Amino acid sequence: MEDESEGSLSPSQDSIQTPAVLPWDRFSNWLHCACVVTFDLELGQAMEIIYPSHIRMTEKEKMNICYLSFPDSNSGCMGDTQFHFRIRQCPGRKQIIKSHVEYNRECPIQLKSDDAHYYGFVFFRQTKDRSIRRGYFQKSVVLISRLPFVALFSQLVSIIAPEYFENGEPSLEAACHDIDQWGPPVPGETMNLPIFGTVLQVRIPTHKDKLVGAGQTRTQSVPTLPAQSILPSLFEVDIYTAFQTILPHVQMLWELMLTGEPLVVMAASPSVTSNTVQSLVSLISPFHYCSDYRPYFTIHDSEFKEYTTKTQAPPSVILGVTNPFFAKTLQHWPHIIRIGEMAGEASVPKGFNKLKKASSLKTLDCKPGVYTQYKPFLMKDKGILKRLIKGMQTKRPVEAQNAILRRHFLELTQSFMIPLERYMASLMPLQRNISPHKGPPSLRQFDVDEFVKTLHQSGPQLTSIVKGEWDGLYRKFFRSPNFEGWLYHRQYEVNQKLQVLHMEALCQANLLDWIQDKEEVEIVDLVLRIREKLKFATNNSVAVKPENINKLEKHMTTIISSLPEDLQSVLNT
């Protein structure tokens, strides 16, 4: 029993050894590029290295990366600081990554490869250095990707950057070369990712994962290689630490997230803002948060004007900011979270439970807390808060606190989601209405009032103990981009499914019998329709069995040959 593999180690990844793989192809399955941003005395922040060197970015993208790769105020950031950001990709010259098309079909929706944004994972180092004119060494290593693999890439940059600061460019080159040996991300698989003498092991989630208790259902194939470092998650962040100082308000924040309310997170460090913003976004999983969010945002950002204008209502976005300037600029925002330093004490801070009026926030020196006038629709679940505070006092490990919190919100979100799914299912046409002789049936329209009427019978009260005005929350949700995104995605999925069912009905039908007593025009119509279906099936790789497609193609040939010759020649061209 001898076998070998190169780079990628899972058995099903052998295919990547095909000779068609070009240098950097595999690298770009994971990262867009790695950069080094330095502080130039004349230019300010400047891009020193982009690796691989053939990667092209627009000046705007480069500017945004440069500014977002340094903490806004460096004085408080001696030593190493890690955080991440998200920027818009400039439109045009979209490079389609083949493996991402496949990956996107199978991955959970919130982990899709983003074709409109880049994520940047920063490791910033600031040390005293007398040999430099300003007296400080300041540099960042940044990994840029379309994939929101926050946990993996944060870990990765923390491995690569210190080596780079120690040994310079060859280590960055070596790191990128290591990544260029990784197999493409395959949902459902546990990947072994060699980097700098160790192997990171991480599982890529799939949309088929069971939602509640996903942790227990990890029955993936046994990896061929015992990894040296196992990452517990590809993307999950430490939500407990992020919310520790504002725990009593997290359920309200969940409502704000669900309904796509504008929100700003203020803190002294980009590490705190990025972790908090990412935690907020993950709060409503498995819903995909559809508005823009910026884990770290500065006054130099190219969207600064667009997002901070006072001439319009604040946009549906979340911003993480550290610059005191924003306290003024974003004063008119309806919801502001101010995260302070946690003393690390087990005691519950004073005023922990109180909400603060947004207008009372004038400077960044204000007390930590949530500043809003929002009235939650749901009543606070005090049980979860008690549990977490007890955990605080008994020094329960952060991982356990995280699991409790995450599970609580997953259940709450699912309670909210189940009635929507149930109603959606009622919009499906009946199986018996799928006829090969008619076009594919379509989904009925989503009717908000009709939906709200179902809540009385089968609302979230069936699965959640949380009481309150659920229907009000739904109505607010229906006006948010999150609903639009969810509905679009579900409609797409359902229509895809209906196409498959219709196609299968068509394949099974005895079309030759059917055309016996039909007019020529009806037959031609049928032929054209079948052609369209076949085109659709091949374009969208619809899950129809190939033998069924073959059958249909044969039917077609027979039908066409039964037509008069002049028609035949028209249809065959």
Q: b/e map of 178-190 (b: 16 or more CB within 10 Å)? A: bbbebbbbbbbbb
- Nearest approach in angstroms of CB 34 to other proteins is 13
- Nearest approach in angstroms of CB 21 to other proteins is 14
- Nearest approach in angstroms of CB 218 to other proteins is 13
Nearer CB in complex with other proteins: 9/388: 9
SS (H, E, C) 323-364: CCHHHHHCCCCCEEEECCCCCCCCCCCCCCCCCECHHHCCCC
Nearer CB in complex with other proteins: 177/529: 177
Q: What is the DSSP letter of 216?
A: G
- Nearest approach in angstroms of CB 397 to other proteins is 10
Nearer CB in complex with other proteins: 8/89: 8
Nearer CB in complex with other proteins: 2/365: 2
CB-based contacts of 252: which residues, under 8 Å, 6+ apart? 355, 370, 372, 374, 376, 380
| Sign of the torsion angle spanned by Cα atoms 177, 183, 188, 194 | negative
Nearer CB in complex with other proteins: 197/564: 197
Q: What is the DSSP letter of 71?
A: -
Beta bridge partners of 229: 200
- Nearest approach in angstroms of CB 167 to other proteins is 4
> Is residue 235 classed as helix, strand or coil in its secondary structure?
coil
Nearer CB in complex with other proteins: 55/348: 55
DSSP string, 438-496: SPPP-PPPP-HHHHHHHHHHHSGGGT----B-HHHHHHHHHTSHHHHHHHHHHHHHHHH
**Rama region for 276: left / alpha / beta (φ>0; ψ in -120 to 50; rest):** alpha
Helix axes 250-258 and 270-282, enclosed angle (nearest 10): 70
Nearer CB in complex with other proteins: 228/569: 228
Is 474:423 a contact under the CB 8 Å cutoff?
A: no
- Nearest approach in angstroms of CB 222 to other proteins is 8
- Nearest approach in angstroms of CB 474 to other proteins is 40
Question: Which positions lie near other proteins, rule CB under 8 A?
Answer: 1-7, 9, 155, 163, 166-167, 170-171, 173-175, 177-178, 181, 194, 196-200, 224-232
Residue type, 223: P
Q: What is the rounded distance in angstroms from the CA atom of residue 204 to the CA atom of residue 197?
A: 22
Nearer CB in complex with other proteins: 125/533: 125
The pair of three-digit structure tokens given for residue 43, joined into one six-digit string: 């230019």
- Nearest approach in angstroms of CB 240 to other proteins is 15
Give CA separation, 223 vs 13, 191, 219, in Å. 12, 8, 11
Q: What is the rounded distance in angstroms from the CA atom of residue 375 to the CA atom of residue 380?
A: 11
Could you tell me whether strands 263-266 and 335-338 are parallel, antiparallel, or unpaired per DSSP bridges?
A: parallel
Nearer CB in complex with other proteins: 51/124: 51
Nearer CB in complex with other proteins: 180/381: 180
- Nearest approach in angstroms of CB 90 to other proteins is 30
- Nearest approach in angstroms of CB 199 to other proteins is 7
| Sign of the torsion angle spanned by Cα atoms 187, 191, 196, 198 | positive
- Nearest approach in angstroms of CB 179 to other proteins is 10
Dmax of the chain from CA atoms? 94
Nearer CB in complex with other proteins: 229/538: 229
